[in-house]
Structure 1
Amino acid sequence: MNIHLSRLALLATLSAPLAYGQAAPPNIVIMLYDNLAYGELGSYGGGVIRGAETPRIDRLAEEGIRLTNFNVEAQCTPSRSALLTGRFSIRSGTYRVPRAGAPDGLTLWEQTLAELLSARGYATGIWGKWHLGSSEARFPTHQGFDEWYGVPRTYDEVMWSGSDQASDLTPAMGSKQGWNENLVPAQYIYEARKDEAPSQVKKLDLASKRTLDAELTERATAFIKRNAAAGKPFFAYIPFSLPHMPTQPNPEFAGKTGNGSWADSLAEMDHRAGQVLDALKAAGVEQNTLVILASDNGGEATYPWRGANGPWRGTYFTAMEAGLRAPFILRWPGHVPAGKVSNEIVHIVDLYTTLAHAAGAEVPKDRAVDGVDQMALFSGQQANSNREGFPAYVADRLTAVKWRNWKLHFIQQDEMYDIPQTLAFPRLYNLLTDLREEHDLMIGNTWILKPTMEVVGGFKASLEKYPPIEAGTPDPYTPASR
């Protein structure tokens, strides 16, 4: 089927009545922090013990639901892809962070959450890291967003500018050995609007990253106020840069806590969240706005920016709990009770389906969508999650599977820089009695193979029915006939 006809057919299906009985579709705000580990926020056992209290975020947690078993994918690109498509990233060819120079990103065949909401009359905007396509044809303004200000790829690249000079990030190496812009061009912060050519605003470097979150907040809050005044529902997606390495605060926050750059950055993160929340209140839309604050990954693995993952062992880029579990807070006044805490399994793919239904949109039916609607859990209508488990891929390797309180590992990799080791026999952990995944309980519990392998088998069967898109697949992409 022609890709444009396919999109028109999808849009024609998005006339369902609004879900959950609300009088008007909710505004949706997602604040996604970059590699914010499980144990950083005060509401997750961090805050003051990490050198900075987080009062605004902690108050948000008291006003809605806080999840202790919210799961993401192992890397930045896979998690962002899962959030915006409702599909495990192995399906869409976005299962690893792309390397500079290689084809990357979502095919335009994918239907992003922004596209679903735009079809329902939402204004849509993204401020921050995209990481789902570094070519202009795959920028967010070609995939459902009306406006964007941010970077196409990753913040690692800001360190290029520190590789040939004395800095607190890398040792002086000399210009011949260091980064040369003539060999590898600088990366840029972009501004783009739908149906317009994007523009390069300024270079992405150490200095511009320090002030980026302030800019993202300023632009996002202006968007909120503008659309609230116009009475137009909006989707504001704010993937902040902090605390992604190099974890350096805005100059206004440098030295604020007296506890170093990490604590100063944590204080800034709390402040930026507060600014967004204040904008919603000032615009008079606080009561009809669904707010999510979450992280895309577990904490950084590299010293001195290593994150605090609470009780969990490991790092991101692995299927250890420290790589999968991330903070998640959701507030929706009148729909989600205040002060609720749940340890039920929720996966980042579930946000796609849940938010689409909250806005009165239907998810596509011509492809595999892994996300399930979790609003009954969030609202307190039911105690249990609508999912019992999920397969955990690290890049394109099926590394583990979670089912209820159990975790079965097929590949052992504790930390990002460890070599993945295929296990001769899977290792089984009870995540209630062994938070650090140290005691293999497979002997005596081989019964667990049946339900866990049913999760794996069901997923692999769906890959047969809906073959995954290979990484680097160009547009236009059309699935093979089934």
Structure 2
Amino acid sequence: MRTSLLLACVTLLVAPLALSAAETERPNIILIMADDVGYECFGCYGSKQYQTPNIDRMAAGGMQFTHCYSQPLCTPSRVKLMTGLVNARNYSAFSVLDRDQYTFGHLLKEAGYRNMIAGKWQLYGAENYSKQFRGKGTLPGDAGFDQWCLWQVDKLGERYDAPLLNINGENRQFGKEKYGPDICVDQILNFIDQESDKPFFVYYPMILVHDPFVPTPDSAIRDRKAKQRNFEDMVAYMDKLIGKIVDHVEQRGLTDNTLILFVGDNGAHVRLASQLDGEKIQGGKGKTTDAGTRVPMIGYWPGKIPAGQTCDDLVDFSDFFPTLAQFAAAKIPGAIDGRSFSPQLLGEPGTPREWFYCYYNPRPERTKPTIFVRDQRWKLYDDGRLFDVANDVLEKRPITDPDGKPGAKAAHAKLSAALESMPAKGASLLQFPAGPAPSAAK
């Protein structure tokens, strides 16, 4: 029964791709993903602690989502985002994207886009990882990208001051006067400016604002050790670089035909604390609570996405794949778990999710998975714990008697059926393709 329900569920999630991509000129697409920053760190979500004027401007001129959910950690989130599949189907090891995976890079390239990625890779198994995983993942060129400027492909090095970056297959060591995130954005702008009759796709999984928490080029004190204050400066610099990209698109006259999406990859580091609406929010990276999985998300496309709108629909990281496919008029070659939210971006009702599923097992060689399903309010783990997250955001009070709380019984029944329809274990843990690893980038 689990298998039949699963197939039906996946088929339904592929189905809603008939909206207006054909009616809308295929846009350029820029997908920006910040590293390790929760929704509590943005002015448009109510923060007065952090300075994010450019992202706030995008929210005011576009659509802000209140219920976007990632995996709790970077590599699991990236694998889900890039493939449209839940981690139970294709996540094998931390820092690895299995070589047999079809990514949104492949999808858009086959649809006629020219593709570029800049920022953080961490999907090949760099030299700093165990030999068990080193070099077992995917190189950017094999994931559908024509050009790239990336930290941590096959080598580690520094990411901020004096960075080591892989640019189109060549590892380049920069001097102390160079700042890694600046180099990545400059490469993005150069790519946008290249003459072509093809639309472009830029995927920017940012280096910022992951630790180490160090001063930025704009910090008043360049040798400050205060991690929280440095983090606040890093958030401001992240916002500055995003503003630089948005401004460049506008200056090039591309605003009318460029979709820009911004999202975070998981919650903030656990050592960080933020104030939001009078409440202290401790960073939840690596945790399955809202502090680890609820992330900011904004869609910006003046003239196409209604300005100043807020969307409360559920968005799961697997949903980005079919959304990009719909805007690019690209055909998805197989079944996925994602559901397109492109109708909502264009101001239409769409077919919103009633729930999403999370399979989280970042180190499957030594850890056991955490599995849950949830909607905007209720959350059910596979061990039977049910939470009213809207009223218990830290998940301290599991509901032991659903009959005794209004709405809990119906939520339990709905989420139990959803949980039963999805995989209970990983499908391909540590099953790497046979044969020699592809040659590492030089």
TM over 0.5: yes
Q: 1:384 to 1:307 in 2, by over 3 A?
A: farther
- Compute the displacement of 1:436 (Å): 3.0
Structure 2 gaps of 5+ residues are 1-16, 126-134, 437-442
Distance 2:400 2:331 in 1: 41
- Compute the displacement of 1:348 (Å): 1.1
| Pair 1:29 & 2:30 matched | yes
Pairing 1:48-87 to 2, within 5 Å after superposition: 48-50=48-50, 53-87=51-85
- Compute the displacement of 1:136 (Å): 8.8
Q: Paired residue for 1:219, among 187, 198, 202?
A: 187
Pairing 1:150-299 to 2, within 5 Å after superposition: 150-152=150-152, 158=158, 188-192=164-168, 198-202=169-173, 211-226=179-194, 229-255=195-221, 260-299=229-268
Q: Paired residue for 2:337, among 365, 370, 395?
A: 370
Match of 1:416 in 2: none
Q: Is the 8 A contact 1:319 1:392 kept in 2?
A: no
Pairing 1:65-144 to 2, within 5 Å after superposition: 65-94=63-92, 97-98=94-95, 105-134=96-125, 135=135, 138-144=138-144
Structure 1 gaps of 5+ residues are 1-15, 99-104, 163-186, 193-197, 411-424, 478-482
Q: Is the 8 A contact 1:353 1:372 kept in 2?
A: yes
Distance 1:137 1:369 in 2: 21
1:138-188 superposed Cα distances (whole Å, 9 cap, x missing partner): 2111110001111236999749x99xxxxxxxxxxxxxxxxxxxxxxxx94
Distance 1:433 1:245 in 2: 31
Match of 1:41 in 2: 42
Q: Is the 8 A contact 2:69 2:293 kept in 1?
A: yes
Comparing 400-409 with 55-64, greater Cα deviation is found at: 400-409
Q: 1:377 to 1:277 in 2, by over 3 A?
A: same
Distance 1:18 1:451 in 2: 27
Pairing 1:412-427 to 2, within 5 Å after superposition: 426-427=384-385
Distance 1:62 1:291 in 2: 14
2:44 is aligned with what amino acid? S
Distance 1:236 1:340 in 2: 24
Q: Is the 8 A contact 2:268 2:283 kept in 1?
A: no
Q: Is the 8 A contact 1:297 1:326 kept in 2?
A: yes
Q: SS in structure 2 opposite 1:68?
A: strand
Distance 2:282 2:371 in 1: 16
1:221 is aligned with what amino acid? L
Match of 1:146 in 2: 146
Distance 2:33 2:379 in 1: 26
1:339-373 superposed Cα distances (whole Å, 9 cap, x missing partner): 111222111110001111110001122xx411111
Q: SS in structure 1 opposite 2:371?
A: strand
Q: SS in structure 2 opposite 1:266?
A: helix
2:109 is aligned with what amino acid? S
TM-score, length-normalised on structure 2?
A: 0.80
Q: Is the 8 A contact 1:242 1:269 kept in 2?
A: yes
Q: 1:458 to 1:17 in 2, by over 3 A?
A: closer
Distance 1:248 1:338 in 2: 35
1:276-331 superposed Cα distances (whole Å, 9 cap, x missing partner): 001111111111111011111111113xxx25385666612121111110011111
TM-score, length-normalised on structure 1?
A: 0.74
Distance 2:23 2:435 in 1: 38
Match of 1:468 in 2: 427
1:35 is aligned with what amino acid? D
